[in-house]
Amino acid sequence: MRGMVLLTLITTAPVPIGRVRAPDNEIAAVIKDASARSKTFRDLLAKIEATDGLVYVENGKCGHSVRACLSLSVKVAGPNRVLRIQVDARLKDCELIEGIGHELQHAMEILSDPHVRNMHQAYSLFEQIGRTDSGRFETLEALHVGELVGDECRSASPPSARSIAP
């Protein structure tokens, strides 16, 4: 037909916002780098994506002289459970990536149990799976994941070397 203009609407699905979030651009860049350098880290992000959790990774201080920690203060916001990880952003490269991976595994331990919806339930869970004599919680799985992430990070080329490579 002459003189008619065919108008085609192009629709695109919205880009999903990841369930692991970092309000700080530097920490967000570290998470992106970690997923490029560690398969274990990528797998952990994928597992968290399949949950109802939103995990915020922020610069902050932890007690017990640790470099990273998961707050047991679980909040519910609509259909999501919100968790917070604090990391010492002064840590460099693979040390920071390893710490984040370790804490993401702890987040996954909470998110794997849909009944954990507040601080008391999170505390109870870790009393069962990760009580230590040092006054803090730790799990063998988080120790293992942290080590794997660190090893994979150190064996991968650093970000500057990857960006220069042809």
Alpha-carbon gap, residue 67 to 55, rounded angstroms: 17
Taking only the tens place, the pLDDT of each residue in 4-32 is 544 444 444 444 569 999 999 999 999 99
The domain spans of the chain are 20-154
Alpha-carbon gap, residue 108 to 72, rounded angstroms: 12
Taking only the tens place, the pLDDT of each residue in 62-105 is 987 889 999 999 999 999 999 999 999 999 899 999 999 999 99
pTM equals 0.84
**42 near 153, Cβ under 8 Å?**
no
Alpha-carbon gap, residue 162 to 65, rounded angstroms: 33
